[in-house]
Amino acid sequence: MKFSFFHLMPYTHLELESHDWPFPNRYFDPAKASALYRTYVESMIHAEACGFDWVGCNEHHFSPYGMMANCNLIGGALAYPTKRVKIAMIGNLVPLNNPIRIAEEYAMLDCMSGGRLVAGLMRGIPHEYLAYNIPPGESWERQREAVQLILKCWTEPEPFGWEGKHYQYRQVSIWPKPMQKPHPPLVISASNADSARFAAEMRATMGMVLLADLPSGKDCVRIYKETARVNGWEPAAENVLVGMHTCIAETDEEARRWMAHGLKYFDQVLMGGLQASQRIVLQKTRYFENEESRDRWKSRLDKRRTLTLDEAIERGTVLCGSPETVVAQIKRIHGELGHGVFNFTVKVGTLPDEVIRRGMELFRDRVHPHVRDL
């Protein structure tokens, strides 16, 4: 089992109240953000010494939910102070950006890190489409086309042009090309049937975060593996990534107390405004290709919103507790999903950074030795 130290890089200096998206930036203090960036990046660098295999981050816009409009900048900051860990950009929001630019920046990161990039090619969550004024109804078309264009950028030996529906280029020949051949490993989100199929078709690692429950995750893994076989390949355990909020402390009580503290800010402030904008996108557009996928997404969000922390732990959608408890939780979830990469979202809302640091050391000393060979 590989472990990923994943950071959302939230802005944590706000009152406990929600605002509609986009969150007014009059509340943003650059000096505080500067200190947060330093703390967060230092944590990610420290993750290597704590036994993590990947350090990861992602892209979000116009809210304190995550301060990474371009997570590749953070990837650049991680490339030289680290030596071993994979730099996991999970990832760039493909339909929102210029695919050529994504191919170029990822190739830079792969070269800068000596071939340690994990290239996440994400479709993004619904409200992000408002930020860059991209029609949500085109998200799947853009995603499918752009991912193939990015792969062409990485693998074509000659300058080429591209005449597509959403992207047209006459001459492409990116410098640099990625160090990993034929290209860096891909991660594509696969939290519903459509995206699971697409990830398998692209021979990408499937990424599932914010699970509503283990049975729905298990269903996505089944669809992913079936589709992979139809497409002529057999996924390994490491091709399944599962991500969860994670808090490890000395005791179960302490971990639950801190997780509850962090979740309060996460749910009320960071997720509060997003829910309104997401509802508008989902109701008014064809972000999802069919009713079933849309209903599953809404149901997943509703389930998560109404779950207590105890219920979430019980369902296996959150990792929280003492090292021994977390070892048991990891084994249980691995037994259900058979995944090979566990992605820990460690900065849950206002969960204090010193608690996270202590949790990283507990992971190194008392969790990792018991689960690394799963």
Number of residues that bind another protein (CB under 8 A): 18
Q: Which of 112, 68, 65 is nearest to 91 (CA)?
A: 68
Least CB distance to another protein at residue 338 (A): 32
Nearer to another protein, 165 or 372 (CB): 165
Distance CA 60, CA 70 (A): 8
CB of residue 199 vs another protein: minimum separation in angstroms? 19
Residues in region 232-291 near another protein by CB under 8 A: none
Which one, 146 or 327, has the nearer CB to another protein?
A: 146
Q: What is the CA radius of gyration of the chain?
A: 20
Residue 247's H or E segment, with its range, is strand 240-248
Question: 203 in helix, strand or coil?
Answer: coil
| Selection from 301, 300, 295, 329 nearest residue 314 by Cα | 329
Nearer to another protein, 133 or 168 (CB): 168
Q: Per-residue x/- marks for another protein, 159-178, CB under 8 A? A: xxxxxxx-xx-xx-------
**Nearest CB to another protein, comparing residues 26 and 170:** 170
Which is nearer to another protein, 163 or 354 (by Cβ)?
Answer: 163
Write out the binding residues for another protein, residues 21-80 only, by CB under 8 A: none
Q: How far is the CB of 156 from another protein (least distance, A)?
A: 7
Q: Which two tokens stand for residue 235?
A: 């996924």
Asked if 158 touches another protein (CB under 8 A), the answer is: yes
Pairwise CA distance, residues 276 & 372, whole Å: 40
Query: DSSP label at 51?
Result: T
Q: Which of 30, 133, 157, 354 binds another protein (CB under 8 A)?
A: 157
Least Å distance, CB 103 to another protein, is 14
CB of 226 to another protein, least distance (A): 21
DSSP-H helix ranges across 169-290: 193-201, 214-230, 252-265, 272-284
Residue 83 interacts with another protein (CB under 8 A): yes or no: no
Q: How far is CA 187 from CA 98, 160, 241, 341, 345, in A?
A: 18, 25, 8, 11, 16
Q: Which is nearer to another protein, 30 or 161 (CB)?
A: 161
Amino acid identity of residue 128, one-letter, is E
**Shortest CB 194 distance to another protein, Å:** 17
Backbone angles phi, psi at 90, to 5 degrees: -130, 70
In the bound complex, what is the minimum distance in angstroms from residue 149's beta carbon to another protein?
8
Report how far residue 312's alpha carbon sits from residue 290's, in angstroms, rounded to the nearest whole number. 28
Is residue 9 within 8 A of residue 37, CB to CB? The reply is: yes
- Shortest reach from residue 74's CB to another protein, in Å: 31
- Please, which residue, 161 or 232, has the CB nearer to another protein? 161
Q: Which is nearer to another protein, 61 or 183 (CB)?
A: 183
- Name the residue type at position 359: G
The residues, any chain, with a CB within 8 Å of residue 241's CB and separated by 6 or more, are: 4, 90, 187, 205, 206, 207, 208, 339, 340, 341, 342, 343
Count Cβ atoms below 10 Å from residue 316 Cβ, excluding itself.
Answer: 21
Does residue 181 bind another protein (CB under 8 A)?
Answer: no
DSSP state of 295: H
Among positions 126-155, residues that touch another protein (CB under 8 A) are: 145, 148-149, 152
In the complex, which residues of this chain contact another protein (CB under 8 A)? 145, 148-149, 152, 156-165, 167-168, 170-171
